[in-house]
A and B are shown apart, each in its own frame.
Chain A
Amino acid sequence: MTQDLRYSALKKTPFHSRTSMASRTNKYYNWNGYTVPTEYSTTELEYTAARNGTSVMDLTPMGKYEITGDHAHRFVDYLVTRDLSEMKDNTVAYIIWCNEDGKVIDDGTIFKFSSTKFMLCCAVKIYNWLNDSAYGFDVSISDVTDTIAALAIQGPTSCSTLKKFGAEDLEKLKPFEMREYKIDGFDILISRTGFTGDLGYELWTDPKNAEATWDNIEIAGKELKLRPFGMHALEMTRIEAGFIQTNTDFMAAEDSLRPTRMRSPYEIGMGWLVHLNKNSYFVGKKALKKEKEESTTERCLVGLDIDGDKPAHGSVIYNSKKEDIGIVTAALWSPIMKKNIALASLKRPYGIKIKENIFAEIYHPEELEYRKIWARCKVVKRQFFNPERRNKIPADLYE
């Protein structure tokens, strides 16, 4: 499905006819060159759908790359910091990848169909990086962003919605597993993955099947509190889940103008994805090993529980001597937890050894004047929200 893009800046996704019909506010933004809704009606209600019913989001603009060939498995394992040598077919893994200096380029998910076929999904464009890195491997890489329509179906009733849509036995699918379905004559891949930190799935299909899929899911979810949700609501849920966003919580190494803004995995709370003891070499291994051995990590990305109810958007964080020790990268009043939370990039030892007596300077807008609030913060686990239902097998059903 190629669109004539002469004189136009943004592409439409295969769901556009449906997403634009569902939008009552006509608020759109540019995601990876596509126009998608920031909000359909009210962000709070869309957020609620993700925590109470089923939320549906057009995920098509997400960067999608197919990696095929005899060396596909070896190449993927070489590309990322995580040890994927034992990765099973029909599973998905959360990954990050770095440049040679051990600075993070992006995070994403890798889907393994077989040892010769993978799909990588991520936020930024990395077609060139993949091709450069593939030198010497027998693989071919194609950008399939335009040729796969994708939806995120997330929330406590999402399994029931998809079952009603035709995904039999879906409740048995474990987190980070995927399964191919044939529904109404089309191939649909469903993975138990997502960006909301809740029970949820992602659905991948042919763009030709997009509109029918949207319509049928809407029908299936009619009694299951289904609602389309936009980027603003997604942002709320991902902060609660403690997921990081490239170029929001850290600068992608490929995008950073200033070398000092680049971050190692250890600086953004992704140390657990770096497997220095994996047998084969991976991009950035040397630098990361050195950083780990010499303990030269400068920063950390932590969760903050902040006093009061005013979100600390962009706040500078101080120690008790009023010295600048970091910055808030994402902030939110969490509707479900009734807590004022934030993700913050702090200079070590703050956030690691020193977790109390730190303060956020919040500028709260009040009718063209700002009220300055000095709010006490506590360093907490970045994963603020992690309900039991998220990883439950079989998944919760509403019948």
Chain B
Amino acid sequence: MYTSITNRREFIKKMAVLSAMTAAATMFPGILFAEEQEKGIPNSANLDWKKAPCRFCGVGCGVLVGTENGKAIAVKGDPKSPVNKGLCCVKGYHSIMALYGKDRLTKPLVKKNGQYVETSMKEALDLVASKMQDTIKNHGKDAVSIYGSGQWTIPDGYAASKLFKGCIGTNNVEANARLCMASAVTGFLTSFGIDEPMGCYEDIDYADVFFLWGNNMAEMHPVLFSRLLDQRLKRGVKIIDFATRTTRTSKAADSSILFQPQTDLAVANAICYEIINNGWVNKSFVDKHCNFNKGLTNMGYGLEDNYKFKDKPEKINFEAYKKFLEDYTPEKVSKISGVSVKDIKYMAALYGDPNKKVMSLWCMGMNQHSRGTWINNLVYNIHLLTGKISTPGNSPFSLTGQPSACGTVREVGTLTHKLPHGVVMNKKHREFAAKIWDVPVENIDPKPTYHTVEMFRALDRGDIRFMWIQVTNPMVTMPKLKRYRDGAKKEGRFIVVSDIYPTPTTDIADVILPSAMWIEREGLFGNSERRTQHFDQMVDPPGEAMSDTWQLVEVAKRMGYEKQFYYKEETHIEEIYTEYRKHHDNKKHNMAPLEVLKSQPGAMWPYVDGKSTQWRFNAKYDPACSNGEDFHFYGKPDGKAIIWQRPYEPAAEEPDEEYPYWLNTGRVVEHWHTGSMTRRIPVLHKAMPHAYVELHPNDAKRLQIKTGDKVKLTTRRGEIILPASIDQRGVPAPMQVFVPFFDENLLINDITLDSFCPISKEPDYKKCAVKVEKA
């Protein structure tokens, strides 16, 4: 829009015309950015631009990486990508700088007498394989384990699952995504019977109202948030920030509504109460497509070792559900949640208005929740009751935090109970997987073993003796970290860590394997909207660094599984992906062929007849619908989604006299997760050099704490001293504090609690009781 004008009269005339056009607000299509951005890039004659999905969060922006003389030197948003339309965030724009930290791991390191000794990759892999074989011989197959990541590429996770579940025969396969989206998965499975969002990012272009459930989207999913802001300028949509803390998102939102931690359960039920009470239920939709269920309550919090829980779903009718909701009138809920009756009714009215399309968005606020599965169910309830689901703009949308949490962990199934297609408990699913994997079906153990928290507890107890950790940093991210760090360091444990930089996790390793990062190898990621994206190798990895896939293949071969790991080094990614696709060869989950993914910025599964599916369960868009109705929730045997009766229950540890504050943890826009990559990007480190503790100004005043003062936080797990931040990036509610977790020098997880959702086994990092003092 850079028009120049010199005549003032003409200028005023043009202004009048323009303001009329602004009112019409149909001026710019999507995010116009790329063209003007390219102007600023120096003559790119020598630059070779290649597409890749961004290495960081689960949004999965398309980026173009410019390389010159074998080095990556520039990044721009891919204008062809329907995800970000040419825009990135500050991490994406500087992502390639994470390749060039001076302390990159380039040689394998083996711990000998307390010292790390450089060795060759061949020797290190020999050692890993023989150590794994020894452990299996001496302690059984369930004494070896692999702990992977939502940053694993699809081939990484597939090779790991095939090796451990198919060949070795242990279900000791977990990934850090258990810590970030397991509740989203169980939410989908319990409500719809099939994982991952029904809608897609394009919903943003159609919705009229956006509800952000405990989601600081302006910092955590900034590029998608830009699409929201863009729509607000164009169409005047409403953004409601429903959260426990005032953030950048709250400031940008049309309205910011604060609730007391954990009471989102009650508020969601109150919204359903209002919807039913005011007659806003979409009766024909509910009658045709929904069932009502209730499950067990008072489930506990998983704080003790070997905790077990299995829900018992029980069918109920609409009347029983309505009766249950009588405990959740806006007046009653207002008392426990701190949300005014007016605000509850306002939210319900927006959801209930039949003329408004509503999109709910959430991420860790709802997933890292001691009742994470429940709150996911409850938000689906709202959308199901009003029938606002699976149509453009009507979308409950669960966001993810890692580039391939969906692609690798959820779709490949690198969790203890999962197989690429189905679960280990199901005989048919085991037979199906065993056939593709070319292993005897007896190899696949029908019993799931440990979820992540329990896996680290087993390592502490000595039930697990060998753990291979890839692409993740659990010695920063595990809750109640000290126990698990001490456990991992015990005698008789053997830890292998594949990473690109030294981290607190490599500190506990017996063998450190240098990995090739992102565009130093070929790979695929799958983002939050079911989009699978491929990237080529663009630069050489440093030193002996090797892709995680190939590390696994090499070890598998050494352990005698050459038959299953027949892949050739030059073509192994293609071979693995093609083999992997066989697991999903059906209308409900078909993956796009590799040549399609190479030619365009990704495709969304189910990919049927050469087309991505944007809205699942909707017969207009989804070829898997087969019941002849408008909607078909084919994840459930009777084709109906489930509205769950889930009550409000308190958190595992609530503030009391001794520990009177809530402790909440999270991220900042500059750093991604544990910062092992972003802290090595100078721009990002300078903007956000260390962690801090946010206090409410009134609490700070009472405690005589000013910004920059040292503050001591004490929980039942330990204490930590952090600089205070008052009224800066974010403002927590009174009697609450917030600490970002990216800083390995200030490990907030040393004092967090390892309570988890009994159904999803995902820990609650957002709530525990803490004492706050001036240090």
A, B bound: no
Interface residue ranges, B against A (CB under 8 Å)? none
Interface residue ranges, A against B (CB under 8 Å)? none
